[in-house]
């Protein structure tokens, strides 16, 4: 089976935050994709168009678009366990298991990285032999299909990157039904204090007051730091 490690790394970079350093290396990333030729001509053309778009638009617009696309909606979130476990208790053990998978390959997360972020997952996959890398992508193909479909629904140019990953996994990129969901900011918003007489609480005195449990950002950040190992290794 043909090696596609460089292609995985390029796709990982193209899915990461498009800061000045990344934008400066876009021509090299494009050249690496074409040199390895792990993707078909039509898929390469789509990615070329995305790279050209990233180069042509104003840097602030490119960065704002990335944040809006990947950080403000559950359907397009790049954290894979968001699509499988959500905020359930199963997410923590799954994170630990994934970290162990990386460590068994001699890879350790950089500070601040979460193991289920797609960019990190692709960096790990790029270190594996082609057959194992393809099988690994196949295991998460159903999640990639969901993200691909959500990107298609938003008419996002980045959809071609998820389609490319499905190609490498040996799967056909096709739209599937994706339920409409509130954005992350909306779904994690703190309820207003003493909101008992609003539509979110009591309609009138004497009715039970619903309890709303929301994620504590400070605790979530602390958990992320505890999971990350301060050693060089997999990074987006």
pLDDT digits (tens, 9 = 90+) for 169-214: 999 998 787 666 654 455 444 444 434 433 334 344 444 433 333 3
* Start-to-end C-alpha separation, the chain: 25
CA-based nearest residue to 74, from 64, 66, 86, 60? 86
216 pLDDT above the threshold of 50 = no
What pLDDT is recorded for position 95? 81
The dihedral of CA 10, 115, 225, 186: what is its sign?
A: positive
User: 């996959």: which residue's tokens?
Assistant: 125
Q: How confident is the model at residue 161 (pLDDT cuts 50, 70, 90)?
A: very high
Of 198 and 5, the one with more pLDDT? 5
Return the ∠ at Cα 235 (arms to 234 and 236), rounded to 5°: 135
How far apart are the C-alpha atoms of 174 and 185, rounded to whole Å?
Answer: 28
150 pLDDT above the threshold of 70 = yes
Q: Name, of 74-83, 97-106, 139-148, 222-231, the range with top average pLDDT.
A: 139-148
CA 203 to chain centre: 40
What pLDDT is recorded for position 225? 42
What pLDDT is recorded for position 182? 54
CB 18 within 8 A of CB 132: no
How far apart are the C-alpha atoms of 188 and 215, rounded to whole Å?
Answer: 6
Q: Where are the domains of the chain?
A: 5-199+210-227
19 pLDDT above the threshold of 80 = yes
Residue 73 CA: distances (Å) to CA of 13, 56, 131, 152, 223? 20, 25, 33, 14, 21
How far apart are the C-alpha atoms of 106 and 99, rounded to whole Å?
Answer: 11
Of 83 and 147, the one with more pLDDT? 147
3-state SS, residue 109: strand
Residue 235 CA: distances (Å) to CA of 5, 51, 206? 15, 21, 53
218 pLDDT above the threshold of 50 = no
How far apart are the C-alpha atoms of 128 and 23, rounded to whole Å?
Answer: 27
pLDDT in tens, 22-76: 999 999 999 999 999 999 999 999 999 999 999 999 999 999 999 999 988 789 9
pLDDT in tens, 92-140: 788 888 899 999 989 998 888 889 999 999 999 999 999 999 999 999 9
CB 14 within 8 A of CB 50: yes
For residue 91, what are the contacts with CB-CB under 8 A and spacing of at least 6? 81, 85
What pLDDT is recorded for position 13? 98
What pLDDT is recorded for position 73? 76
Return the ∠ at Cα 36 (arms to 33 and 41), rounded to 5°: 65
């Amino acid at each position: 089976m043909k090696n596609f490690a460089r292609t995985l790394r390029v796709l990982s970079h193209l899915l990461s935050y498009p800061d000045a350093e990344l934008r400066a290396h876009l021509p090299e990333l494009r050249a690496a994709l074409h040199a390895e030729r792990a993707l078909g001509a039509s898929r390469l053309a789509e990615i070329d168009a995305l790279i050209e778009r990233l180069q042509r638009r104003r840097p602030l617009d490119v960065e704002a678009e990335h944040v809006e696309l990947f950080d403000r909606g559950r359907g397009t979130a790049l954290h894979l366990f968001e699509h499988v476990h959500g905020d359930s208790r199963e997410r923590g053990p799954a994170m630990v298991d994934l970290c162990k998978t990386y460590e068994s390959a001699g890879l350790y997360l950089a500070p601040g990285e979460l193991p289920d972020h797609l960019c990190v997952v692709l960096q790990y996959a790029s270190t594996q032999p082609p057959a194992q890398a393809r099988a690994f992508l196949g295991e998460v193909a159903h999640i990639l299909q969901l993200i691909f479909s959500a990107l298609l629904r938003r008419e996002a140019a980045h959809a071609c990157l998820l389609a490319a990953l499905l190609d490498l996994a040996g799967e056909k990129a096709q739209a599937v039904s994706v339920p409409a969901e509130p954005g992350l900011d909306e779904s994690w918003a703190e309820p207003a204090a003493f909101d008992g007489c609003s539509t979110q609480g009591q309609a009138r005195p004497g009715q039970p007051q619903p309890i709303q449990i929301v994620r504590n950002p400070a605790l979530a950040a602390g958990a992320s730091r505890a999971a990350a190992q301060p050693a060089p290794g997999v990074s987006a």
